[in-house]
Amino acid sequence: MTTADPLFSLAGKTALVTGGTSGIGAMIATGLAKRGVRTYVTGRDLSRTSEVARQLAQDSDGEVIALAADFADASSPSALAAKLSIRENALHILVNNAGTNCDGDLADLTEEAWDEVMAVNLRAPIFLVKMLTPMLKSASQPGDPARVVNVGSIGGLHVPNWEAHPYGASKAALHQITRSLAKSLGKDNITVNAIAPGPFPSKMHDTTSEATRSSIATYIPAGRAGEAEDAQGVVIFLASRAGAYVNGHVIPLDGGYIGAL
Q: Mind telling me the catalytic residues? A: 167
DSSP 89: S
Neighbours of 57 (CB within 10 A): 19
Distance CA 204, CA 154 (A): 14
Whether the CA torsion 101, 103, 108, 109 is positive or negative: it is positive
Give the DSSP per-residue string, 212-245.
HHHHHHHH-TTSS---HHHHHHHHHHHHSGGGTT
Q: What are the phi and psi torsion angles at 153 (to 5°)?
A: -170, 150
**Residue 153: partners with Cβ closer than 8 Å, 6 or more residues away:** 167, 168, 171, 196, 197
3-state secondary structure of 35: coil
**Residue 211: partners with Cβ closer than 8 Å, 6 or more residues away:** none
Report angle CA 177, 110, 203 to the nearest 5 degrees.
65
56 membership: H or E segment, kind and range: helix 46-60
Q: What are the phi and psi torsion angles at 80 (to 5°)?
A: -65, -40
Whole-number Cα distances in Å, 65 to 16, 30, 59, 80, 84: 9, 12, 14, 13, 10
Distance CA 200, CA 181 (A): 26
